[in-house]
Structure 1
Amino acid sequence: MTGKVLNYFVCGHTARGFFNISESALPNLQHLFVINSQWGAEGSNLIEGIGRELVETGHNVEFIHSPFDSKRLDGVIVPSLGIGVVKEIIAEGARSLNCRRAIINIQPENHKDENITALIQEKCNQAYDSFSTALEIHDEWEEFYIHNMDFAKADTLTDELIHSFLGEEVLNKQSVVKHRFLGAATPHGSVDFVPVLTEEIQNRYFIKGRPGSGKSTLLKKLAKQAEHKGFDVEVYHCGFDPNSLDMVILRELGIAIFDSTAPHEYFPVRENDRIIDMYGSVITDGTDEKFAVQLADVAGRYKTKIQEATAFLKEARMIQERAEKESLSLHRDVLEKIKQEVIQEINRIS
């Protein structure tokens, strides 16, 4: 029987700089294989090859994608075995995990160039500055709705929703909480895996609203209460502002609830899909119309800064691609040999 695959990010280019939440995303690992591969596709290809072979033998796996190139992988996790195969960037973010580690060195000697690394970092820093300015503009955007919100209604809506999800049940176990990113800002724009992550979820709730209409606050309260009651919780942070939440999944209850607004806007397509309209429920009628001119201005300035940041990330990726073309690459047979050695070791310890 073929296994299943989940896809997500644990690192991101954000308004608060490069953010790595690998440690809180990967609890309960006993073994970590760390691939020493800074740039080229070899590390990603090796990880994907290992993951696909494990899927074919019936294991469920989780693919961790790179925010530098969402088609590339930074890691594969096999939860049932407590095993992960990850690049150094993931291992560094999860350095406090108490697990056995084995280093797999596939980086050619001429692969690492400190000057190239500095150039890439400079472009990324420029992107972070633009994202930071965009966040300030977004805060300005939120103010229009915060000042026109009925907080009592928002609290009532949140409490009723949480009670409808969790009821009075309390599980006699410790909650497992995993923190991930809903999506990531990449050199090609925003990317997310909402359809994959919610594919097997029976009840999906699409939160619609405006900036500052209480979407993240609702999700934070739900996640906290679910953890308190012993339910396992998948907490998905915003790829733009990691202090904000975009989705909570309670797989034991078959529930996913997420901020379904741009840049991760989706609409109901299944019978059990539901919309939660925060704007219509808690924001004063006519707010959009009353501040139409100001809102158009702030939205335009925000969009410009996001585009500016994305352009810087694209420049960083182009520098990286040029460096990769000039570096030595491992022969396919060598990678296949390494892959089989890792698979054999996984089979031995599992």
Structure 2
Amino acid sequence: MKGSITKYFGQAMTGQGWKNLYKDIVREAKEVYFLKGIFGFNVSNLLKEIGYHYVNKGHDIEFFYDPLFENTIQATFIKGIDTLFLQSSKPSIEPTQLGTRDKVISFYECLDEAILIQHGERLKQLSEEAEKWHDQCFASLQMAIQIHDEWEEATQQHMDWKALEEQREELFDQIFNGILLNKTGVLTHRLFGTLTPDGAKDFLRNITRNLEKRYFIKGLPGTGKSTMLKQLAQDALKRGFDVQKVWCGLDSKSIDMVILPELKLCIFDSTAPHEYFPEDGREGDVIFDITKHCQLSDEAEAKIEEISKKYRKAILRATNYAKLYAEAEKEIREILDQATDFSKWKKQSSFLF
């Protein structure tokens, strides 16, 4: 019987810079293979091959995707045996438990120096272009976060926080039903979405496909969705439940989802850019609507409409810069693939199977 594949992003492009969860995932693992080198796209194919190898042996696995390129893998986690295979040069993550948990496989010697020299000037030009578009992308995302903060301030003035608290307490009572587990809850972290060169993308349907209960939170920016999710996570851990916090792909301080595996339940922010609705035929899908607690005046609605237009423009600019950044990175990686000595690559890869 084959195992299953769950998809996440390992990084997100946020208004505060790159958000990287790989250090958290490394801490979950009992064994980590750090793949070191200057890589093109070949390393993604290798990580997929490793994943499918274990899936065919019956293991459930997690693939962690690169935000810049669709279907490009940065890491593979084998559940059950808790083994992580990680492209650790970008982002740079170093082993901290050599001799026990951590193993390093170096691919630096797989590059043909003569081919690199042949493309040296072009690589230099592309690297400068990539850095320029990278910086402009994140400057636009930083502006988007600042505008989003204005949006939140505009809605918070009109919130009935007491009514929200009462609704929240009813929900928590419904979810936990007084249950206290005689164990210590385990907290893990994941990312299900991010900005990409093609706009906002997420893996929500894949991640939640086997859950029996899904709560779809509907509410305006700044009305307490992330705060409520953090409170739910804290309460669940105190009760002994395992918790998975799923972080926001734009604001690195905010979370968009909480998964409680033992209850086969998740609750998530189901508003743009990851707006979802209950699916026909899924009895466990429930909308949790908090918009009723924010009664906006005509003046506030007009102000928010102007803010939302500015916000969309900032996100569009960031997306366009992300596309240019990815184009430069793509050519760099293609040149690196051309410069790879596959006989050496195959020899080094053999240590991973």
- How far apart, CA to CA, are the structure 2 residues paired with 1:312 and 1:148? 35
- 2:139 aligns with 129
Cα shift at 1:172 = 2.1
* Structure 1 residues 91 and 78: CA distance shift in structure 2, 3 A: farther
| Percentage of matched positions with identical amino acids | 31
Output the CA distance in 1 between the equivalents of 2:339 and 2:200.
Answer: 29
SS at match of 1:299: helix
Alignment partners' CA distance in 2, 1:191 and 1:30: 30
Query: 1: CA distance between counterparts of 2:323 and 2:268?
Result: 28
Secondary structure of the 2:200 match is: strand
Q: Does 1:147 align with 2:149?
A: no
CA distance in structure 2 between the aligned counterparts of 1:136 and 1:301, rounded to whole angstroms? 11
- 1:202–1:272 CA contact under 8 A, matched in 2: yes
Q: Which moved more, 1:10-19 or 1:103-112?
A: 103-112
Aligned equivalent of 2:11: 11
Aligned to 2:288: 276
Distance in 2 between the 1:264 and 1:221 partners? 21
Deviations 1:180-215 (A, max 9, x none): 222111111111100011000000000011111111
Does 2:199 correspond to 1:197? no
Work out whether residues 24 and 189 of structure 2, in 8 Å CA contact, stay in contact via their aligned partners in 1: yes
Structure 1's unaligned 5+ residue stretches are: 344-350
Provide Cα deviations, 1:246-303, integer angstroms capped at 9, x if missing partner: 00000100111000111111110122100011102x212xx17553322221111000
What do residues 91-132 of structure 1 show as CA deviations (whole Å, max 9, x unaligned)?
A: 744755772222241652439956644432332121111111
Equivalence for 1:347: none
How far has the Cα of 1:144 moved from its partner? 2.0
Q: Secondary structure at the match of 1:138?
A: helix
CA apart distance, 1:338: 5.0
Q: Over residues 112-162 of structure 1, what are the superposed CA-to-partner deviations in whole Å (9 max), with x where a residue is unaligned?
A: 956644432332121111111111111111122100001111112222212
Provide the aligned length of Structure 1 versus Structure 2: 340
TM-score after normalising by structure 1: 0.90
SS in 1 for 2:232: helix
Provide Cα deviations, 1:25-61, integer angstroms capped at 9, x if missing partner.
3433122112234441100000001101110110100
Please tell me whether residue 20 in structure 1 is matched to residue 32 in structure 2.
Answer: no
Cα distance in structure 1, aligned partners of 2:267 and 2:140: 29
Match in the other structure for 1:105: 107
Post-superposition Cα deviations, 1:302-338, rounded to whole Å, max 9, x if no partner, equal 0000011111111111111222333325477776665
User: Which one of 210, 213, 220 corresponds to residue 220 of structure 2?
Assistant: 210
CA RMSD of aligned residues (A): 2.3
TM-score normalized with structure 2 length? 0.89
1:165 matched to 2:171? The reply is no
Code of the aligned partner of 1:197: I
User: Alignment partner of 2:7: what SS?
Assistant: strand
Contact 2:105 2:348 in 1 (8 A): no
The aligned residue for residue 253 of structure 1 is 263
Greater CA deviation, 104-113 or 262-271? Answer: 104-113
Matching residue's letter, 2:9? F
Amino acid of the residue matched to residue 58 of structure 2?
G
Change (3 A) 1:118 1:81: farther
| Matched AA of 2:272 | A
How does 1:27-46 map onto structure 2 within 5 Å? 27-46=27-46
Q: 1:159-187 CA deviation, whole Å, 9 max, x = no partner?
A: 22122112322222222211122211111
Which consecutive unaligned segments of at least 5 residues does structure 2 have? none
Q: State the Cα distance separating 1:69 from its structure 2 match.
A: 1.4
Tell me, yes or no, if the aligned pair for 2:37 and 2:89 is still in contact at 8 Å: no
Does structure 2 conserve the Cα–Cα contact (< 8 Å) formed by 1:39 and 1:320?
Answer: no
Aligned to 1:348: none
Task: Tell me the distance in 2 between the aligned counterparts of 1:233 and 1:288.
Answer: 38
SS of 2:27's equivalent?
A: coil
Q: Secondary structure at the match of 1:27?
A: helix
Q: Give 2:81's aligned residue.
A: 81
C-alpha deviation, 1:63, in angstroms: 0.4
